[in-house]
Amino acid sequence: MSTASQSTFADLFFMDPALIADPYPMYARLLAENPLYFDANLGMWVLLGYAEVSAGLRDPRFSAQRIAGADELPPEWAAAQPLLEYLARQMLFRDPPDHTRLRGLVSKAFTPRMIETMRGEIQGIVDDLLSVVQARGEMDVIRDFAYPLPTTVIARMLGVPERDNDRFKHWSDDFAEFLGTPQMDAMERFGQSMQEFTDYLRALIPTRQGDEQDLLAALLHAEENGDTLSETELLANIILLLAAGHETTTNLIGNGLYALLTHPDQLQRLRDDPSLIPSAVEEFLRFDPPVQFTSRIAKEAMTIGNQEIAQGYEVVFALAAANRDPAQFPEPDTLDVGRRDNRHVAFGFGPHFCLGAPLARLEGQIAFATLLDRLPHLRLREEAPPRLANAAFHGFQRLPVAF
Residues that bind ligand HEM (CB under 6 A): 91-92, 103, 154, 240-241, 244-245, 248-249, 252, 289-291, 294, 319, 346-348, 352, 354-356, 359-360
Q: Which is nearer to ligand HEM, 7 or 239 (CB)?
A: 239
Q: Which is nearer to ligand HEM, 18 or 297 (CB)?
A: 297
Q: How far is the CB of 245 from ligand HEM (least distance, A)?
A: 4
Taken as a whole, the chain contains a residue count of: 403
Left (φ > 0), alpha (ψ -120 to 50) or beta: where does 43 sit? left
Q: Which is nearer to ligand HEM, 134 or 232 (CB)?
A: 232
Q: Which is nearer to ligand HEM, 7 or 50 (CB)?
A: 50
d(CA 198, CA 108): 22
Q: How far is the CB of 78 from ligand HEM (least distance, A)?
A: 25
Q: How far is the CB of 6 from ligand HEM (least distance, A)?
A: 28
Q: Which is nearer to ligand HEM, 7 or 36 (CB)?
A: 36
Q: Which is nearer to ligand HEM, 7 or 323 (CB)?
A: 323
d(CA 145, CA 37): 39
3-state secondary structure 333-402: CCCCCCCCCCCCCCCCCHHHCCCCHHHHHHHHHHHHHHHHHHCCCCEECCCCCCECCCCCECCECCCEEE
**Torsion angle (degrees, nearest 10) of CA 31, 331, 284, 134:** 130
Show Cβ contacts of residue 170 under 8 Å, excluding neighbours closer than 6 positions: 193
Burial (CB count within 10 angstroms: exposed 0-12, middle 13-18, buried 19+), residue 70: exposed
Asked whether 360 and 350 are in contact (CB, 8 A), the reply is no
Q: Which residues of 94-119 are buried (b: 16+ CB within 10 A; e: fewer)?
A: bbeebbebbbebbeebbeeebbeebe
d(CA 235, CA 375): 40
Q: How far is the CB of 300 from ligand HEM (least distance, A)?
A: 19
Q: Which is nearer to ligand HEM, 324 or 352 (CB)?
A: 352
Q: How far is the CB of 37 from ligand HEM (least distance, A)?
A: 20
Q: How far is the CB of 345 from ligand HEM (least distance, A)?
A: 7
Q: How far is the CB of 183 from ligand HEM (least distance, A)?
A: 22
Q: How far is the CB of 395 from ligand HEM (least distance, A)?
A: 10
Q: Which ranges in 7-163 belong to alpha helices (H)?
A: 9-13, 17-21, 24-33, 50-57, 81-87, 98-109, 112-116, 119-134, 141, 148-158
- Residue 261: how many CA atoms within 13 Å on its side-chain side? 26
Q: How far is the CB of 350 from ligand HEM (least distance, A)?
A: 7
Residue with nearest beta carbon to ligand HEM = 356
Q: Which is nearer to ligand HEM, 329 or 349 (CB)?
A: 349
